[in-house]
Amino acid sequence: MKISDACAWLLQRGVRNGPYGLDRINFILEELENPHHEFACVLIGGTNGKGSVTAITESIMAGCPDYITGSLTSPHLVNIKGRIKLAGRPLPDKYWIEGVERLLEVCKVMDKEASIGHASFFEAVAALAFWAFREAELDLAIVEVGLGGRFDATNATNPEVSVITNIGTDHQEFLGTGKISIAREKLGIVRKNRPLITGEKSPEVLAEFERVCKEKNSPLILCRQQGSFELIESRADGHFIKLSNESEPVFFPLPGEHQLENLAISLEVINQLRKNGFEIPDAAIAEGIEKVRWPGRLQWIPGTPPVLLDGAHNAEGIAMLANYLEKFPPAGPLNIIFGALKDKPLLEMAGKLAKFGHRLCFVSPSCNRALTREDFADSLETQGWQWFSTLAEAHKFCQNDAGTILITGSLYLISDALRMFGQNV
């Protein structure tokens, strides 16, 4: 089997269909002799920021020579192989090939047995990651929850530390209406007698966190930036911070005020891992912060004009982007290319963006849940947005009379942009 064959087989598995639960992933893992029991795990959920917290924590752990670490994130932006990393680098092809060969036999049984059901793409990738982590003799896996928490395939793990970054209003069609319902689904990743770390601020939501943690005798750790580091200066390309055990300032290259909150959460994860026996040097923390990369989130692409990419795929993400644009106004005029899925609050998101834009362009992302031309005409066209069939056409149009181009919205659109600009992530 070639690596292209392995990736193609995974991609054709399709999305998860109901009934929702952990039965399928547990069946696969049992057939693989429960690889997820062989390594320590941090499980990171939340509405926004969970990918950034995963990337920061992974970058710090990659600088610890005594440990082999791996990570599982989603979605991938350019290549499926970007989802699984080992020691901070993409998982070697041999694991993808051997893992798929193992999964082929398991999934043949599942596909034929209606009582078990068809394994989805995400379930297969999660199982492959856990199998590969065992084969690589991993010490620690840093795992990002895909959707929700309670029924997500990643919740088959037994994390020693759980994280819920925050609670937003995304995916209400799956997780329930309102933040409390969504919180209950995400709180499914909490384990008895093991800590939950969160950056959530809403008193109403935190009351639900406290209730669940009390039931499970799990310490609830409220993370705030002030106790983790001192902010020296924020810039358009990142932040200078002062760590308590470092004499010189450290540059944190993830722009945006929200990334400081994500950094505080990551540092608390590191603190908990230290309490659990992991020896993590101060130098690894400083080095990991300086080396962290998380493509497609306030990422600048040099050029004339320069391009800013940001996967602000929901209302909360657009609010964070708007805050960044107000604090660090790009060279104008700012031409905006926006693309979002039809299950998002489009009018709210587009309205917040429009006030920053000179030219307002909409491109339908490459996804079956994307806005159609008819949907667009009924909604955004009346707000001054202009429809383009492809990102390349919109980009060409925006190059005229632009100081900066912003491409934002769905991560599917950001994926297309990264490919267009030749960014290999």
CB–CB of 230/224 below 8 Å? no
Whether 384 has a pLDDT exceeding 50, the answer reads yes
Cα(284)–Cα(24) distance, integer angstroms: 38
Tens of pLDDT, residues 193-208: 999 999 999 999 999 9
CB–CB of 10/121 below 8 Å? yes
Cα(45)–Cα(147) distance, integer angstroms: 8
Q: Where are the domains of the chain?
A: 3-291, 299-420
Whether 19 has a pLDDT exceeding 80, the answer reads no
Q: What percent of the chain has pLDDT over 70?
A: 96
pLDDT bin (cut points 50, 70, 90) of residue 170 is low
The 8-class DSSP code of residue 370 comes to: B
Whether 106 has a pLDDT exceeding 70, the answer reads yes
Assign domain 299-420 one CATH number from 3.90.220.20, 3.40.50.300, 3.40.50.150, 3.90.190.20: 3.90.190.20
DSSP conformation letters of 20-55? PSSHHHHHHHHHTT-GGGSSEEEEEE-SSSHHHHHH
Whether 368 has a pLDDT exceeding 90, the answer reads no
Residue in the structure block whose two tokens are 């929850």: 145
Bridge partners of 221? 197
Tens of pLDDT, residues 112-160: 887 788 899 999 999 999 999 999 999 999 999 998 889 999 999 999 9
Whether 268 has a pLDDT exceeding 60, the answer reads yes
pTM: 0.93
Long-range contacts of 129-132 (CB under 8 A, 24+ apart): 129/70, 129/72, 129/83, 129/84, 129/91, 130/29, 130/32, 130/35, 130/36, 130/156, 130/157, 131/32, 131/35, 131/99, 131/102, 132/70, 132/84, 132/86, 132/91, 132/95, 132/96, 132/99
CA 374 to chain centre: 30
CATH of domain 3-291: 3.40.1190.10
What is the number of residues in the chain?
A: 425
pLDDT at residue number 172: 47
Whether 365 has a pLDDT exceeding 90, the answer reads no
Cα(398)–Cα(419) distance, integer angstroms: 18
Tens of pLDDT, residues 288-346: 999 999 999 999 999 999 999 999 988 999 999 999 999 999 998 999 999 988 888 88
pLDDT at residue number 270: 97
> Which tokens is 346 given?
């489009």
Q: Which of 24, 33, 6 is nearest to 118 (CA)?
A: 24
Tens of pLDDT, residues 387-424: 999 999 999 999 988 999 999 999 999 999 999 998 87
Tens of pLDDT, residues 21-67: 899 999 999 999 999 999 999 999 999 999 999 999 999 999 999 99
pLDDT at residue number 367: 81
H helix or E strand, kind and range, residue 71:
strand 69-72
Q: Mean pLDDT for the chain?
A: 92
Whether 174 has a pLDDT exceeding 80, the answer reads no
The 8-class DSSP code of residue 362 comes to: E
CA distances from 118 to 12, 49, 111, 161, 225 (A): 12, 30, 5, 30, 43
The residue that leads in pLDDT, 425 or 110, is: 110
Bridge partners of 361? 337, 386
Q: Which of 148, 154, 111 is nearest to 129 (CA)?
A: 154
H helix or E strand, kind and range, residue 321:
helix 315-327
pLDDT bin (cut points 50, 70, 90) of residue 18 is low
Q: What's at 356, amino acid-wise?
A: F
Q: What's at 266, amino acid-wise?
A: S
Bridge partners of 197? 163, 221
pLDDT at residue number 370: 83
Torsion angle in degrees (nearest 10) through CA of 189, 46, 245, 255: 160
CB–CB of 296/313 below 8 Å? no
Determine phi and psi for 251, rounding to 5 degrees.
-95, 125
Let me know if 76 is exposed, middle or buried by CB neighbors in 10 A (0-12, 13-18, 19+): middle
DSSP conformation letters of 120-143? PHHHHHHHHHHHHHHHTT-SEEEE
- Average pLDDT on 96-100 reads 97
